[in-house]
Structure 1
Amino acid sequence: MKGEERIMGVKHEHSEAAFEMLERYSLDQSFKKDALIDSNQPVMFEVGNLKEKYWRWIHEPYDGKLRLFKSDFLESLTNTKWWMIPAVWMPLVAYFAFNGLNLMYQMFGKIFLNV
Structure 2
Amino acid sequence: MQRRQLVRLITAALVGAWAGRGQAQGALPSCIARPQQTEGPYFIDEALQRSDIRSDPGSAALSPGVPLHLSFAVSRVDGSACRPLAGVLVDVWHCDALGRYSDVDGTRG
Give the structure-1-normalised TM-score. 0.21
Higher relative contact order, structure no. (Cα contacts within 8 Å, ≥ 6 residues apart): 2
Higher strand share: 2
Give the structure-2-normalised TM-score. 0.22
Higher helix share: 1
Greater Rg over alpha carbons, structure: 1
